[in-house]
Structure 1
């Protein structure tokens, strides 16, 4: 029975291969393909694979399992460990011909089975790197199309493209993607299906885009130790052909700064921080007045990230990173920087009993999603005052020695600490010489006032003494004719 079952399987295989038809298998240049041949009932089989019209086999496996490979195909051919299938790696253009597999079984008698395959060419024309926002056009070309052949596309995320409104797929295997994004970067796949077998044809697509912009402002604080980092780089490594700006169409690059009104400068005045000089050689021209650290700037991969140590309120504003390409195409990233500031009034050195105000601000009113938290010195007994739980203005009505020390203001947003700023408040006793000066000044003022009052009283008294007495006036009519008139006695 064992020999009968093996004989029947051989007969069935011979019947299938006796039709003379070639099985079509699609492949891609540079890819890998498997020409499938199943096992017979017996494993003691001589396997020989031929290419085209050659009479010498490409690869042979004898009944004992020993393999021999043509030196010209070395490292490109192998036989499957589970059956007699041929695996071809690194397919070349000249490989798209016929392949033939001969199986010889010597038990119970010599029987030969021949299976033929045609390797058919499938290709996708590579595309040049695309700037984000441009359209992607691909086409899956098949040299020989047989009835029942189907084509479909897979995105780099292997998602269903039928639900993507940006995608247009044609019956000729063409694909158009409108306004590509960074998600479209990667390998796109054309899947060719024929007679239940699938062939995957991959093509890389490079989408050139800058690193994603921050959805929220970059928060930092006023400090000589604060580090302001402004990231700007390409989302994916640039192709080797793009490493030289003279060949890749890059026309220039720059960093600009627009101060905010809170920075104390005129708003809308754009300042150039860094310029990319195309040269040759490629070089960065930096505005040294801003104190920028340009060590991150790299020529090879065009990393435009900047940093600045020692943040001031003058750093508040919008920072724009821009890279210019041919045809007036520009990639931009805008980052808003908010600087937290903490100051005291009237002065950072106060006296015991004096009122002190602490102000923590971004230079403008906080939005509803932001709040400040005060961290007083551990020996301070002051409770936060004001209408809100965390006021930006904190008042110490009468300062004590316990209020002196390190005060910290923290900026929080959505339960996340964004940044913090510190200040040292000194509370001192009023010096004795100050009280003496105050007493002397008060005495001098009183003396001057008394002196002025005395002068006023003396002048009034003199004016009264110099004025004549006022009495009744008597008049008479004289009898002498000369002189005539009335006289006062």
Structure 2
């Protein structure tokens, strides 16, 4: 048995010696964390020791009883894995990119040593200056020591692969170009280096200067002295101080413009300047007071360019544009369209009992197929129930009653979302006595005039008959007593 045990020890020693010749490349980034992997042996009586550099400077060790010893210069950055003998290095420094040596000693019978050499290779991504939205982003993943079989790929700030992004171009050297970046590209970009199933990550922050996302749909509001129209425009991230104060790239100006729509009752295509941005410091708006605009958002935060207006009218329908200008003719802008819901009545002010009343709910133009209106009449209206949707934009009350008076509300909906609503008070009154008296007098006058005309016509016809002479027949006779030849009148 002793001979067999000695033979097995020699075989194990030869195996460990062969595995000790392994030379492993691991990639890492300055400031990051890396793990140098060493699997756990079957035996518990193992001493693990880690050394750094060509001079084999001691770093950390753990004996088979689990007691660890760490060199003072590494105490705050090193640890050994609890499940195996792997070395974890935190907050990697530039001088750490060197060789590491791991020695494992097994004391089951005779000392057996396994040695593994690691080479920590530097992976880096060059930082880029802040970019304006619409510019191109260029990144390059640099590796100090590229080993055959090493692969590189990129992840965007949402940690998504870029294979489906049509804006992305990846060069043969794994350099990355993203065309026309937006605020969605702001954040940490990652170069993933893969070698023998192990992955290393090199991150770099990318700052994209952009305005808040534009509204995909129009902004809907309604005609009311209490309605508040809010037009958002702000930087999606705080401007970096070093960038915003730069004379080369800083803000040079800005403005809000308004282009009325045909439904606003104004000439289309006529661009009106609502507000101009004064550079200051600090930034300040120069406001067109005729529009009753509120720019208090800018006063509380120099990066918030939002605009608001209280008291909405049909004249506010149209396109609003927020423009921020930078050096080198670079411009950021956001456009938004405002639709104003209006409720019209005919007759305009007061309707009388029994009179036909028309209510029209309109945006000033035909509704698109995805929009519909819903009418909310008074509780005692003669039109109840109105029936299921879609309700008509023109609602007719054939004969108004007192129950039709009160608050009428028209709501604008898209699918199951209410966009806005508008209300009016409809007054239904009884026809006053003076009106009935006037109607009676007018009717009597009309009847009298008609009778007078009829009388005149009859008199004229009678006179015409009297004035026409009668055309009677002449009588002739043949006398018994002959007279001279001829005929004589009786």
| Shorter-chain TM-score above 0.5 | yes
Shift of 1:241: 4.1
Aligned counterparts of 1:422 and 1:56: Cα–Cα separation in 2: 83
Structure 2 equivalent of residue 468 of structure 1? none
Root-mean-square deviation (CA), in Å?
A: 3.4
Matched, 1:263 2:264: yes
> Greater CA deviation, 311-320 or 235-244?
235-244
Number of aligned residue pairs: 450
CA distance in structure 2 between the aligned counterparts of 1:289 and 1:3, rounded to whole angstroms: 101
* Corresponding position of 2:479: none
Instruction: Note the C-alpha offset of 1:433.
Output: 3.9
- Tell me, in whole angstroms, the C-alpha distance in 1 between the residues paired with 2:381 and 2:9: 95
Maintained 8 Å contact 1:123/1:141: yes
User: CA 1:98–1:268 in structure 2 vs 1: closer, same or farther (change >3 Å)?
Assistant: same
> For the structure 1 residues 246 and 445, does the alpha-carbon distance in structure 2 shift closer, same or farther, using more than 3 Å as the test?
farther
Give distance in 2, aligned partners of 1:260 and 1:173: 49
**Conserved 8 A contact 1:191-1:199:** yes
Q: Does 1:193 align with 2:194?
A: yes
- Rounded to whole Å, the distance in 2 between the matches of 1:297 and 1:13 is 71
Q: Distance in 1 between matches of 2:282 and 2:160?
A: 44
Matched, 1:45 2:41: no
Q: Is the 8 A contact 1:52 1:98 kept in 2?
A: yes
Alignment of 1:79-98 (within 5 A): 79-98=80-99
Aligned pairs (5 A) from 1:279-294: 279-294=280-295
Q: CA deviation at 1:85?
A: 1.0
Seen in structure 2, the aligned counterparts of structure 1 residues 217 and 58 have a Cα distance that, compared at 3 Å, is same
Cα displacement (A) at 1:214? 2.1
Counterpart of 1:15 (choices 8, 13, 18) is 18
Distance 1:78 1:255, change over 3 A: same
Q: Which moved more, 1:314-323 or 1:290-299?
A: 290-299
- Structure 2 counterpart SS, 1:83: coil
What SS does structure 1 have at the residue aligned with 2:225? Answer: strand
Does structure 1 retain, via aligned residues, the 8 Å contact 2:244–2:251?
no
- Relative to structure 1, is the Cα distance of residues 346 and 193 closer, same or farther in structure 2, using a 3 angstrom cutoff? closer
| Deviation (angstroms), 1:322 | 1.7
Unaligned runs of 5+ in 2: 457-490
Asked if residue 65 in structure 1 is aligned to residue 66 in structure 2, the reply is yes
CA distance in 2 between partners of 1:340 and 1:287 (Å):
25
Aligned to 2:317: 316
In 2, Cα distance between the equivalents of 1:13 and 1:336?
A: 74
Instruction: State the secondary structure of the residue aligned to 2:66.
Output: coil
Are the equivalent residues in 2 in contact too, given 1:312–1:339 (CA < 8 A)? yes
The answer as to whether partners of 1:275 and 1:285 remain within 8 angstroms in 2 is yes
Distance across 2 between alignment mates of 1:300 and 1:9: 71
Q: Which residue of 2 aligns with 1:250?
A: 251
Q: Work out whether 1:411 is the aligned partner of 2:412.
A: yes
| SS in structure 2 at match of 1:145 | coil
Structure 1: tracts of 5 or more residues without a match: 457-489
- On the 8 A contact 2:238/2:303 being kept in 1, the answer is no
Q: 1:159 to 1:224 in 2, by over 3 A?
A: same
2:135 alignment partner in structure 1: 134
Q: 1:346 to 1:274 in 2, by over 3 A?
A: same
Q: Deviations over 1:224-248 (max 9, x none)?
A: 2222222223345544644657675
Shift of 1:84: 1.2
Q: Is the 8 A contact 1:237 1:301 kept in 2?
A: no
Alignment of 1:463-474 (within 5 A): none
Please name the residue that 1:278 is paired with.
Answer: 279
Give the C-alpha shift of residue 401 in structure 1.
0.8
Secondary structure at the aligned position of 2:383 is classed as coil
What's 1:475 paired with? none
Change (3 A) 1:231 1:281: closer
Moved more, 2-11 or 175-184: 2-11
**Cα 1:432–1:166 shift into 2, 3 Å:** closer
Map 1:454-469; keep pairs closer than 5 Å.
none
- Aligned-residue offset at 1:54: 5.2
Take 2:248 and 2:10, find their aligned partners in 1: how far apart are those partners?
67
For the Cα contact (< 8 Å) 2:282–2:302, is it kept in 1? no
Please say which of residues 300-309 and 96-105 is displaced more in the overlay.
300-309
Secondary structure of the corresponding residue to residue 17 of structure 2: helix
TM-score, normalised with respect to structure 1: 0.81
Q: 1:269 to 1:109 in 2, by over 3 A?
A: same
Q: Mapping of 1:152-171 within 5 angstroms?
A: 152-171=153-172
> Which segment drifts farther, 139-148 or 411-420?
411-420
Are 2:248 and 2:327, in contact at CA under 8 Å, matched by a contact in 1?
no
Change in Cα spacing, 1:364 to 1:172, as seen in structure 2 (3 Å) is: closer
What corresponds to 2:206 in structure 1? 205
Contact 2:244-2:250 within 8 A present in 1 as well: no
* Counterparts of residues 61-460 of structure 1 (less than 5 Å): 61-236=62-237, 238-239=239-240, 241-242=242-243, 244=245, 248-297=249-298, 302-382=303-383, 390-436=391-437
Q: Which residue of 1 aligns with 2:30?
A: 29
Greater displacement, 233-242 / 144-153: 233-242
